[in-house]
Structure 1
Amino acid sequence: MPKAEVFSRDFKVKFTVSNYEETVKMFVLRLFDCCQGDILILLDSSGSVSSYEYSFLRHFLVDLLHPFLLGRGRVRVGLVQVHTEPQVEFDFDTCITQHALQEALLRTQQLHGDTNTEGALLLAQRLLMKPLGHEAPPRVLLWLTDGVKPGNVDRPMAALHQEGVSVLAVSTGHTNYHLFRQAVTPPIEEHLYFVDAEDMSIITEDLREAITKLLCAERLHVQDITSHSAMLQWRPLLIGGLGHYELQYGPEMLASSQYSTEQGRNRTLILLGEQSWAELRDLQPDTPYRAWLIPHTQQGITRSLTNSFRTLPEMLGPATLSVSESGPDRVRVSWGPVLPAQVHQYRVEYAPIPRGDVQTVTLSGRQNSTLLTQLQPDTQYLITVIAVQSSGQERAMSVRACTQEVLPGLTDLQLTPVGLDSVKVDWRAWSEGAGLQGYWVRWEVGDRSSSSSSSSSSSSRYLPAQSLFTILTRVSPASRVCVSPVYRTARGEGLCAALCTHTQLLLHGSRDASGFRRKR
């Protein structure tokens, strides 16, 4: 399929037909990422609702709510079942992922009994009550019922309206338009639906859009604040992406007006009309900022959005971390830079991977390294250096380090002639360690047809770990025999012995160029 390409002259953004669906998907995710508030579902679970209808109601809710991002600071969903004794099926903090919400909705069982809607609404009032001393997020009550004998709901519904709760209703059966019209909050045409249970899918998009308007209000959201950056998100304000955004931001003390340019400190970004987020970088730590989003259309400037935030304090601590002097039982860890004026002390925590006890070393703020000892050989460790600032704040950096394998050498090597040109080689090792793989034996092979030592050549043999001797043949006169242990990562220290005659072996304490101790 040929690709259609569109280029923005100012921003050099390239779109293709092949990535259109992915672009739309990301756009939708950004849209719902701006939503924040509580949705309480009032689900009619009485006996007047058939099992057939109840199944449609559950699946309708799964489809309706699946685009919303859940959790604190985003959208929270709770469910109250209406029957003789109304009960909370799950509260706002139960489902923090879409998977958990869908599972909770699908396993909800019908309770039957009477339609005690009034009692369920009193329960809903407690769940949706505005927290004392805090600004309440947008709150939505979604009432799903067959409309049979809903009872006296005027007073509890009025109390919810007064509390600032938006009420939406869907009726799948009896039509009492006057009752439902009084129950829902305006606009009636967007918040009240009458539909057969098997046809509920036709209202999904309209109802979701109504909820989105309530929860995803035109606000400038600030997220992911660090000491030097912040993420701004908003619900799209320009229809069809036509026009552009002007984003101004600066320190609060300078940004007294959205058009302030005092000392040129306010910064301005020009953004595409379809954009719904922007990352602010190179901010100053621990500084109050104010930002304005100004939509521009062909008709001029429309209503702008604004918000304030404060960047986090600078977290001082290790910027570099390295390891050295690694041995079987030790490793040195070093870090920098050293900031004794800001860092009160360093705490070094280390433990074997994947599991093991955590050890801790505490050092002054003037130190930049420490030698960790009594470690396990041939083991990977996770080492974390934590800078504890005078304010009590902490910043950490971690590194992985491996100790070396223990490589025990041989303790003895003996050569015993067993024939004219054969010799028995015996050796002893410190132990058969876990990493011992075997032994390498190297010797000089003589040429029987020549008496010259220059005609000999070297040969080698690999033996398994359980071997402690071998017999060599065609060994040249005055040949040197070397044996070294082989471990998983390297060879250990070996021994060499020289065969002077068939009957004499002389001990010599030097070390040859290959790292073997030599016996003669």
Structure 2
Amino acid sequence: MLAWKALSLALSLRLALARSGAERGAPASAPQGDLLFLLDSSASVSHYEFSRVREFLGQLVALLPLGPGALRASLVHVGSRPYTEFPFGQHSSGEAVQDAIRAAAQRMGDTNTGLALAYAKEQLFAEVAGARPGVPKVLVWVTDGGSSDPVGPPMQELKDLGVTVFIVSTGRGNLLELSAAASAPPEKHLQFVDVDDLHIIAQELTGSILEAMRPQQLRASEVTSSGFRLTWPPLLTQGSGYYVLELAPSAEPGTVRRQQLPGNATGWAWVDLAPDTDYDVALVPESNVRLVRPQYLRVHTLPEEAGPERIVISHARPRSLRVTWAPALGPAAVLGYHVQVGPLLGGEAQRLEVPAGRNSTTLQGLAPGTAYLVTVTAAFRSGRERALSAKACTPDGERSRAPRPLPPGAGGREQ
């Protein structure tokens, strides 16, 4: 016990000294990484706006160290279908990338951003597609704020791969939706700016991109209400040392959890954490061969997973109902919703799948004058599910603008 207390005290002193050195600023290595520009090229963007955004991307590239052994850039257009203007590795200098951006033409079509994000994951950021393993990945999405398809699930898949997501909205986007799509914290990764003022944020965004591209960077992914996964590039080998991981709630720095890992480890998952909480993480490489500086990260767990809080039934028709629900807490962790409806008195139930970005659907093929039980279930990435049910009743018969008189001898109701 005394030996462990002594080790703990020594580790705390070493962490304090390391933090002090980090604050003074240590010389940074030349950044390496893959940088993907996702450009809204759909018909929702005017030709003038597109030209200003294209000019802005050129300004960013001029400030970044692109070239062999440094940063590589790629440009993908968002339209009805994604289009790659140029992939990683096609241009070997910043000047060539600038020329390619200037030559990019607007694609028009719908704003299918979700489709473009899924394409980026499979065709650009995947190692089988040529992405470099072990280097940081950054996505810069410049948008007018809207999308024709859900963005949340494919964006979360990219973030789960360790991609850092920066979003620049020209002012018409939904703050909550874009905040959930950007990397955490959103105040550092999300910018709202008028298209004529984009040049104002070029320097700041460049600095943030370079910070995300810093080598030997500790990253968090797969964040849920009760845990997250940490990953880092190989800093040691199995024979050259070991790692000590520290985790503590930001509000209670004295409550520390520690984990020792071998030198060939590049990841660890923390579990059984409190929801909606800031945690401070320290990765301390211990080596007698060379000095490797500790790394630090703050991670915020998602709010506790809870199912829909309220179900509203509207637009009741004899054979259909409209169902709307308050979205589940922790939207970034929601995979989607299952909506099930079945007669209260027994009978076959039907089930619909609704994407995570939506919170309403229309139930069709119902029977007139029938009481139903409607259940909305939120499916979370953790594997858990939360559900809420409500009763609904379809009205009798088909509605019409004016009642029709029945012919002589007729009776009953139209089915």
TM-score, with structure 2 as normaliser: 0.45
Question: Which structure: greater strand fraction?
Answer: 1
TM-score, with structure 1 as normaliser: 0.36
Whose Rg is larger? 1
Greater RCO (CA < 8 Å, at least 6 residues apart) = 2
Question: Which structure: greater helix fraction?
Answer: 2
